[in-house]
Every structure is written in structure tokens, then in C-alpha cells.
Structure 1
Amino acid sequence: MLQKDRLVRTMKVLQAQNQPVGIEALAEAVGLPTSVVSEDLRVLMRRNFPVEGDAEHGFQLVRERAAHGLHLTEDELEAALMGAAWAVDNGDASVAAAARSLLVKLSQQMPAELRPVIMDGGKAPAKLPVFDSAVLRQALRGRNIVRMKYRDNKGKVTSRMIWPLVMAHAEEVRVLVAWCELRDGFRHFAISQIEAIDVLDARYPIRREKLMADWRAYQEKTGNKANI
């Protein structure tokens, strides 16, 4: 489990408590070893999250401070962003203005390398994929290589080995940006045309930051925003 998701889970467990909870009980509720939860609590307090306490007296959420913050998992954040992006184009004037403001606030919680992508919210609701997109998001975060079956614009289905980088919008199409081993280059795959995916245990050998930088350089060089 990613540290960010662990921290959110710990916060939610604390939020459900009306009194300080001991580290052993907290670890059991979170479903992680005591040593991991202890370190995560130290991280939360170093980052000024509304948590206080110690091993002797237990830990609790400071309600007054918690009311000023909203701590989302990456899945919750993506869902909120997609909803706000839809409202920008489909809501009335006041709702659209509020949605644009919300997009800016939510984007501040998104990892920096994804912020230029999420602001392109698309013009229409994207067709839902035939596979569980949560599995693909896990591959994105874990830097896993993915084997997929992809149907191109001519209807031909091919098997691809890809290094998934980010999901985004290109006009009205939701796309997956990835390095394609078959084409030996970056490609933008329409998510609605992915027939199946298989997330492998293997990870691609390049750091995500380096791959993002290479993709940006490719975009600037070619001006190609949707090489599907």
C-alpha cells in the first residue's frame, strides 16, 4: 500500500474515534503492523495534520483542525476531478464557475507531474472501459508493465506491452499515455478501445520522472497531442 493511502486510512480510523486510541488498537483497525502505523503517525504530525498523542496516552484527531482539511485518496481525488471537469462544461454559469474554482483547489493536492494533464477536463463524459480501471491506476502508481489487447481505429486488435504513464483527456476521448514496446515510442491509447489488461509484476526500468520528462520533450518536438 502506498504511504499516501496508508496515511488517509489512518486519518479515517482516527476520525471514527471519540477518544484517544492506543497504537496496537489503531494498527489492528488500519490493518498494518504497529511499526508502520507508528512511523505514519510521526509523518502525519511532522506534516501538521490534525493528529496528536503518544504511545502512552493514545492518539486522536483534533476536530477543530480537521474541519479545515480534506484528505483524499488518489481514487477519491480523481473521481472529484472528473466530476468537477464535467461540471465546467455542463453546469450553468454559477456551477461552472464553482467547478473551475474547485479544479484549481483539487489540483493543488495532485502530484505536480499530473497537474498539467488534469486541467484538460474533456468536453463530454468518457465511455466507460470494459476492464476495472482501478487495476490500471494501481499499475500507473506502481510503475508496472502492462500487457493489453488494444483495438485500433480500424478495428484491428493487437497485443501490446506498455509502460503506463498517466491517464488524461484529449478532446472528448479519455486516453492512456504510455511507452509502447511494439511501436518503440510514446502512444496515447483511447481507454474505450482497450479490450483487456494484465498487470505484470515486472516494473519498467526507467524512473517515472525521467519518463515524464521524455514524454514532455516528445510532445514539444512533435506537437502530437493524441497519437492514438
Structure 2
Amino acid sequence: MHQKDRLIRIMKVLQSQSAPIAAEDLARVVGAPEPLLAEDIRVLVRRKIPVHGDAERGYLLEQAREAFTLTLTLDEMEAALMGAVWAVERGDPTVATAARMVVAKLARHLPEELRPVILESERQAVAKLPTYDGRMMRQALRTRAKVRMRYRGLKGEVTSRIVWPLVIAHADEVRVLVAWCELREGFRHFTLDQIEAIDVLDARYPTRRDKLLADWREYQERTGHRANV
């Protein structure tokens, strides 16, 4: 059995225990001899997984939020890292910072031979960090608040809009806000990098967000083209 598989099995067993489990019992459940089990425990400790005890007293896991990572398979960890690196590259600064923390936490549990690949991908992604901070827009999305924004069009013209933000979509290199625009009285797509300023208003828009999203999807299917700004 590969060490990665043993570590996952050890973590699952320890996470199910509320009292120390004897080394002999843990070795039997994991399917590994006790000397090999002891080495695996040392690996977990070096990775800062809070496993306490020894072969004589038994082993007990201090529950910690980061411990879940070792229950992921290698493919699952790689998929999670790919998503996090994508968020570092294309998210706004708040999301990108959180994504870099995810990359750092997951990378600690990767096999040594994969760490340089992940860290190099993360380093390249940081250089592409966008300048738009979407924290206020995400606040409006969560609270169904109207937003007043100053928007710069493709030809450089600047307009003031009051919109009802519905969702932020990611398409290749572009991040787009889907919203109902009071000025145009219809659904519109706004490129986030062209939003120059926003102000979250106290007013909430009257229609349920899920109803507006359903109407927007129906509009897209009916018209067969994306909404213009």
C-alpha cells in the first residue's frame, strides 16, 4: 500500500476515535506493520497534523480544521488546487488572498515531487492579480441590495447606473456581472474591470433573486444572444 493511502486510512481511523487507539489495533485496521505505522505517524506530525501519543499509550488526533485535507485522494487534492490557483489568477484581491491560503494549506500535504509544480503555478498566478476589489459587490449579491455604479463602456464613455446584481460569472479571462439595469430597463452584462466605482445602496430590489435569475435564463434562451450594456 502506498504511503499516501496509508496516511488517508490512518486519518480516517483517528478522526473516528474519541479516545486513544492502541498502536496494535491501529496497525491492524490500517493493514500495516507497527514499525511502518510509527513512521507514518511521524510523517503526520512533521506535517503539523496534531496526532498525540506513542506506541505505548496509543494515538489520538486533536481535531483540527486542516486535518480534512489528508482525507482527500491525490486526484481530489489536485482538482482543489487547480481551482484555487485559478481563483488566485482571476479573482478579486479578497478572493485571491483566500485562494492563496488554500493553496498553501493543501500544498503542505502534497508529495514532495508535486510541490514545486504547484508553487510555480501559484507564483505565476500572483503576477496576474486583478485590481478590481469585489467585496462590496459580493455584499450586495448576498443582501439583495441595489448598487449605484460608474461604468466605462468599450468606447470610453462613462455612465452612472443603478443595478440589481444577480451573479458574477467567469468566462475565460473576463469576469462579468449579470444584473438588471434600471437605466436600460433590462438585463445587462457588465465587465467587472470596467466598473470604476460602486456604492451599495440601502434599498433592496423588490423581486426575489432566484426569480430574476430564472427570468434572465429564459431571456437568454429566447433571444439567443448575450445581454449588451
Normalised-by-shorter TM-score class: 0.3 to 0.5
TM-score by length of 2: 0.46
TM-score by length of 1: 0.46
Larger radius of gyration: 2
